[in-house]
Amino acid sequence: MVSAVVSVCERPHQSFFSRLLLLLTLPKGEFSRQDVESVLHPWQMSVDEDEHLTGYTIFIEDFAILLFEGATSSLFEAIERLALLRGSDLQKQARPRIRILYFTELHGYRLLPYLITAQIPGIPAAKADTDSENETEITEELILEHVFKIYQGLTLVSHRLATDNFRMPEGADAYLQSDENRQLLPSIDSLYLLDTSPVAEGLTWTESEFQNFFRGKFDIRLHSEPLV
């Protein structure tokens, strides 16, 4: 497979890709890795190559951190499909909680040539980091630091994977659990903070807020004064 990490010069008709980082909170005992995969993989197998998603779906205890890249329309459809997930108990009708952490468009290349799915154990944050945050007020700046650190870490893992020619002989789970890669991935404390903090809630989108912002009615009125 030819690497999807190419420069504009190598592809005169360069496509542009969007990236979406989201946190999926899975009610304990209600959803498995297979449940999430079941709403994404069959759909991805049925679409044209231009609509394929690449990136990561990484399960960490009761969370999944997802970094998708691809056509903007495919990212929106992925959100819609994840929002349809329901627990097996029909009376509870448990649903995963979706928080959109980051979205950007017009990237000239993909970080990965395919979608990596992995499950890794949760690890706590370094004690120094935990002590510091326990003594610090949870601010917007702190939340944004956590989001940026997650995005940056996934990007760095992608670059390491590229240097290995995108080969993972022992599988994605083992590759991401190696010491040098695991330290770049989010701690369970970071995911818990982004899921429960009121400050994080104010800075991120639910799936419906995200959809409404980009697909809702655009109503703007320009006020002008007569020119003398």
Each residue's pLDDT tens digit, 47-56: 998 889 999 9
Task: Supply the pLDDT for residue 49.
Answer: 87
Task: Supply the pLDDT for residue 146.
Answer: 96
Residues 98, 44 contacting (CB under 8 angstroms): no
Residue 12 CA to residue 63 CA, distance in Å, equals 40
pTM of the predicted model, to two decimals?
Answer: 0.82
CATH 1.10.10.10 is the classification of domain 8-205: no
* pLDDT higher than 80, residue 63: yes
Residue 86 CA to residue 144 CA, distance in Å, equals 30
Residue 109, number of CB atoms within 10 A of its CB: 17
Average pLDDT across the chain, whole number: 84
Each residue's pLDDT tens digit, 102-134: 999 989 989 999 999 999 999 887 654 555 555
Ramachandran assignment for 184, one of left (phi > 0), alpha (psi -120 to 50 degrees), beta (any other):
alpha
Domain locations along the chain: 8-205
pLDDT bin (cut points 50, 70, 90) of residue 27 is confident
Strands 115-120 vs 63-70: parallel, antiparallel or unpaired: unpaired
3-state secondary structure of 10: helix
Host H or E run for residue 210: helix 207-215
